[in-house]
Amino acid sequence: MGKISRIEGKIMLKDSKVKTLCIVPARGGLIRLNDKNTTMLNGKMLIEHTLDVALKCFDNVVFTTDSSELMEKVEKYRSHKNFIAHKEPAELATSTYRVIGVVRYLFELYSDLCGSDGQIWMCLPTCPLRTVEDVKVAQALLTPNVDGVMGITDYEYPPTLGLSRDKDNLISDWNKLRPWQTGNTNIQDHTGVFHSNDAIYGMWKSHFYKMKNFYSGKIVGYHMPRERSINIKTELDLKTVKMIMEEWNYGSVSQ
């Protein structure tokens, strides 16, 4: 029997393997943490950790950037037949332009690489602790019965215990149930909440074509622990990832 696949929301049988396209977007000249994409982590640049995983998991990988320097840094990957490096046009290289806009732009250019009924994926290079196993498990969750899959992790602190602060620096319960006023502040008594960890997003090509994002529709969450879900945005995040990689000997050049 052929493999189950999907075209325009219909489940069908097909003999060929579902093709996958992964987009890895990396911005140059970052405001919050400059040059982080080329920061060395356990013998590799930050962007290399994601590219090495992606090339083992997807049929085609498109690395995209607005930076000529980063284009030069990934030159060695051009020897991979399934790798493409794409220089973004100037109109996409602004601090206000969202990454999903870049993905939409590349989807129009390269969607043929995932066939007529394939899948489109995105892995942000700022999440270098995701593993090949993480990607494989997420891929298995993208069945014909769902529209997409998203990497998620736990909030460190229940949002229901959040506090608001007014212009006079006076604090009050953010939650209308007022847990701080009622004494209901035991973390275990509050329902856990998750958030996207930006490590991996995936969707059927047909559904992404209609929705133009990875968030709308019937989306399955792939839960990852917080230590593998770190999204490097600050110097503290970077230091934490360095410490974890050194302790685990994760992603070293010898692996």
pLDDT in tens, 7-20: 444 333 343 589 99
CB-based contact 126:147 (threshold 8 Å)? no
DSSP result, 82-103: TEEEEEPPGGG-STTS-HHHHH
pLDDT in tens, 52-81: 999 999 999 999 998 889 999 999 999 999
The pTM for the full model equals 0.86
Domains detected in the chain: 15-155+193-248 (3.90.550.10)
Residue 203: pLDDT band by 50, 70, 90 thresholds? very high
209: burial class by Cβ within 10 Å (0-12, 13-18, 19+)?
middle
Query: DSSP assignment, residue 207?
Result: H
